[in-house]
Every structure is written in structure tokens, then in C-alpha cells.
Amino acid sequence: MDSIKNALGSFDSDDRLQKRIQEQKDRLLQSKPIQTFLSEHTEVTTSMIDRGLSKMYEFKKERENCEACPGLENCPNMMQGYRPVLYAERGSLDVSYTRCPLKLDADERLEQQQLIQSLYIPKDILEATFDVMDQNDDRAKAISSAVRFAVAANPGEDGLGLYLYGKFGVGKSYLLGAIANELKDLSIQSYMIYTPDFFREMKQSIGDGSFQEKLETVRKAPVLMLDDIGAETTTAWTRDEILGPILQYRMSEKLPTLFTSNYDYEELELQLAYSDKGGTEQLKAKRIMERIKHYTTFVEVGGENRRG
């Protein structure tokens, strides 16, 4: 140990190391971020500075990164999107971090996006808005009904939804997307599902143990949108173990459900009556349809096939 001390002593015999340290300290104290801090905190003493040099270096480096901001994605700070705050407390200096404006904006956009949850829904549907929608005579009533629902939606107080019926390709799903985006702007969360794929996923989820969790998520959504109901091959199980419990819960909690379908009420009831066990189960189908009819407004969507 003595030999190491002696070696260090001889290396710094002319105080070169101390001079370099002092030069770095002087540059630190003369930097703009530190000068601004010290002018605003006259209670900071020399001894506090000496003890807090490492924190001051950290603050200076991170703050200078912010002043030459290369954008959120390229942020070089230790915590991407966070800027440092140097503060004095109980005779010591320390650094905390707060979200920068770019990070705040990005987080706000993410929170907004998360207000629309979806399963198997195309991106163009999720980006739909009423502003760019073709409002011809065939679709005027449907668009008006969709707008009225969106601006008046009150989950938990009013459970009335919509049943959008029309031919293939007339824009029923697009209307759902526009409603979801309008609800997003009102900070109301919606869950939009392509029903045939959802039923298939629920059947598979029995094997991985996630069935109940997925069912709970869907049935508790503030606004639920079931796109293209009736397009799937209905089974007694999907009707009685998925659709029935979802609608029963939402009816009791006054949570609105919206549907799109190529079938009107009567035609969908025939679809739901089908039993893969053979024959039909009209009473069970009627019970489901009574819930749907009572808690939706039937809206016919007209127009030409836009996918053809």
C-alpha cells in the first residue's frame, strides 16, 4: 500500500492532477446550466458544491443533451425522454428527472391510442373518422345515428347501443371505427372486435387457461363493438358460454354494445338458433336476441359495395 501511495505522490509531485481537477471544476461552475442553478439557489455553499460535484456533472451533461435535443427516439440521456432537475435539500445536492415535453406528448398519444382496444381489426378501420366519411343519401341516417351515439355515450348510465345492419362492403365497420375515434377524443374507452376470429380465439384460450381473463376484459369494456356478428359458424357453446354471458353482464351494468351484421334481427336469430348438436334451439336464440333488441337501436346502412 505504501508503494502505491508513494507512486501516486511522485506522479502528482507538481500538483498536475489537482490542477486538472480544479480546471474541470471551474469549467463546470462556469457552464450555463450550473450558473443558472447557482443564481437561483443562493443558499448553496462551497462545501455543498464540493460534496455534490458528481451530481452537478451529471446534471450538466444531461441538461446539455436536452439543449441540443436530437429528438425523443435519439435521446442520449440516461433515461430517454427525461430531463434532469438539480436541487438542494438538507445541505446536499441531488438530481431528479422529469418527463420532457416530447415525452409528455408521446405518452399522451399512447394513452389516447390505448383508449381504442381491438382484436383483428384492420388499421384503416381503426383510423376512420366522421370528417372524411362519404355522406351520401344512402348513408346519411346511419352516419347521423353513429354521431349521436358517440357524442352522447355514457357507459354505466346508459346501456343503449347500435345494431348496424347492411349488405357486405357498405361501410358498417368503418362507422364503428369512426365512433371509436370520436369516443377516444371524449376519453371513453372502447373495445372493437372482429367477432368470428374472437370466437375462435376464445375456444383456443381454454387450452392455455386465459379464457376467463379474456372474457372479463371484453364484457367489462366501457363500450364494446362486435363487428360482423353472424358471419361465424355459430355453435351452442359460443352462443351460451361467450355471447350470452357478455350480453347479460353488459345489460346489468348498463354498458353499451354495438353490432355490425349482414343479418337483420330476425335473420340473426335464425343463425343463433343453430345447434351443432343437431336441430335448432330457438328458445336460447330468442333469449339472446331479446337482449340485443332491447339494448340496441336498429340502423340500416345503405349504399354500394365499397370493396368490390
pLDDT for 49-94, tens place per residue? Answer: 999 999 999 999 999 999 999 999 999 999 999 999 999 999 999 9
pLDDT for 160-203, tens place per residue? Answer: 999 999 998 899 999 999 999 999 999 999 999 999 999 989 98
Q: What's the pTM?
A: 0.68
pLDDT at position 128: 93
pLDDT at position 4: 53
146 in Cβ contact with 180 (< 8 Å): no
Q: How far is CA 308 from the centre of its chain?
A: 33
Output the nine-digit C-alpha cell for 193: 372486435
Nearest to 133 by CA among 147, 121, 112, 122: 147
Average pLDDT, whole number, for the chain?
Answer: 89
pLDDT at position 308: 53
pLDDT band at 10 (very low <50, low <70, confident <90, very high): low
- C-alpha to C-alpha distance for 306 and 308, rounded to whole angstroms: 6
Residue 115 pLDDT > 60: yes
Domains of the chain: 14-103 (no CATH), 114-300 (3.40.50.300)
Residue 307 pLDDT > 80: no
Q: Where are the alpha helices (DSSP H) in 186-302?
A: 195-208, 211-219, 236-237, 244-253, 265-273, 282-294
Residue 106 pLDDT > 90: no
Spell out the residues 6+ positions from residue 70 whose beta carbon is closer than 8 angstroms to its own. 76
Residue 270 pLDDT > 80: yes
Q: Report percent pLDDT > 90 for the chain.
A: 67
pLDDT at position 96: 95
pLDDT at position 16: 80
**Number of C-beta neighbours around residue 265 at 10 A:** 14
Q: Report percent pLDDT > 70 for the chain.
A: 91
pLDDT at position 119: 82
Number of residues that make up the chain: 308
